[in-house]
Amino acid sequence: MIEIKDIHKTFGENYVLKGISAKFEAGDNNLIIGGSGSGKTTLLKCMVGLHEPDQGSVLYDGRDFTRLNFKERIEIRKEIGMLFQSSALFDSMTVEENIMFPLNMFTDQPRREKLKRVNFCLERVNLEGKNKLYPAELSGGMKKRVGIARAISMQPKYLFVDEPNSGLDPKTSIVIDDLINEITEEYQIVTVVVTHDMNSVMGIGESIIFLYEGQKEWEGSNKEIAHSDNKNLNDFVFASKFTQAAREKL
């Protein structure tokens, strides 16, 4: 379980996170939703240590990440997998080298074993045989899937996903959501997904927190979201006429 307590973050004059607390359970798809500039990605980056929170703590199964030194943080980071919004694949490496990279860095397995793991991860994301392609040769959806394969290559306990559907068509978005959902359930990992994609919210949002202007405005599940009376949440979730019509039918 990951628990965040009273996270505050400012950038100069800009007060981005105003005391956010939440719990993210293993085996659930934990979604952080909110409009642009609400602090979703900043919160995610504070959780993984890419930003230092000004105040508050991030507990990974009781271990306070914000109080750890460099070496202790590295031990936790070996348990973390992350899919970035831009996929963040290493341009100069092939798909195989990208996925094998963390294995090369942190394990002493023979190359045969590492290759076996790479092929397993590629198979898991339905990209068998794409080992020798470079990121520039992949479509947006394929890049995301390679990103997921790299994130799970070290068998992480915690998976962070930043805007998995940005720039993807609806069909590919569903493929990525399903993949995240399957991996979370199969390996019983703590998955935290930052998104503003309503299909994701309705499809895989077992546990959702809604951020509004740097504060946690609402917490619940996709089943509860349609019946919420929170105005800011409703304005965000049911912004389009299509979703408004869908809500009326519920």
Partner 1 sequence: MIFYPLGKYILLLKAVFRRPEKWNIYRREIFHEMNSIGVGSVGIIAIISIFLGMVTTVQTAFQLVSDLIPKSIIGSIVRDSTILELSPTISAIVLAGKVGSSISSQIGTMRVTEQIDALEIMGINSPGYLILPKIVGAVIMIPLLVIVSVALSITGGYIAGTLSGAVSANDFVLGLTTGFIPFTITVCMVKSVLFAFIITSVSAYQGFYTSGGALEVGISSTRAVVVSCISILFADYLVAQLLL
* Residue 164 or 205 with smaller CB distance to partner 1: 164
User: With binding defined as CB under 8 A, does residue 155 bind partner 1?
Assistant: no
Distance CA 238, CA 162 (A): 22
Using only C-alpha atoms, the chain has a radius of gyration, in whole angstroms, of 18
Going residue by residue from 197 to 226, which x/- string records binding to partner 1, judged by CB under 8 A? ------------------------------
Q: Report which secondary-structure segment, H or E, holds 212.
A: strand 207-212
* Residue 83 or 209 with smaller CB distance to partner 1: 83
User: With binding defined as CB under 8 A, does residue 91 bind partner 1?
Assistant: yes
Q: Which of 35, 49, 56, 203 touches partner 1 by CB under 8 A? A: 49
Give the other-Cβ count within 10 Å of 101's Cβ. 16
In whole angstroms, the minimum distance from the beta carbon of 250 to partner 1 comes to: 37
Tokens representing 57 are 């703590």
In whole angstroms, the minimum distance from the beta carbon of 245 to partner 1 comes to: 37
Distance CA 142, CA 135 (A): 9
Tokens representing 104 are 């090369």
In whole angstroms, the minimum distance from the beta carbon of 65 to partner 1 comes to: 12
CA distances from 97 to 76, 94, 149, 163 (A): 23, 5, 12, 24
* Residue 72 or 182 with smaller CB distance to partner 1: 72
* Residue 48 or 122 with smaller CB distance to partner 1: 48
The piece of 23-31, 52-60, 82-90, 115-123 that touches partner 1 (CB under 8 A) is 82-90
Distance CA 76, CA 78 (A): 5
User: With binding defined as CB under 8 A, does residue 102 bind partner 1?
Assistant: yes
Any idea which residue has 């105005």 for tokens?
231
- # residues contacting partner 1 (CB under 8 A): 25
* Residue 41 or 222 with smaller CB distance to partner 1: 41
User: With binding defined as CB under 8 A, does residue 61 bind partner 1?
Assistant: no
Distance CA 9, CA 13 (A): 11
* Residue 180 or 208 with smaller CB distance to partner 1: 180
Dihedral of alpha carbons 71, 68, 9, 32, sign: positive
The 3-state DSSP class for residue 85 equals coil
Residues that bind partner 1 (CB under 8 A): 48-50, 73-75, 77-78, 80-82, 84-86, 88-91, 101-102, 104-106, 154, 160
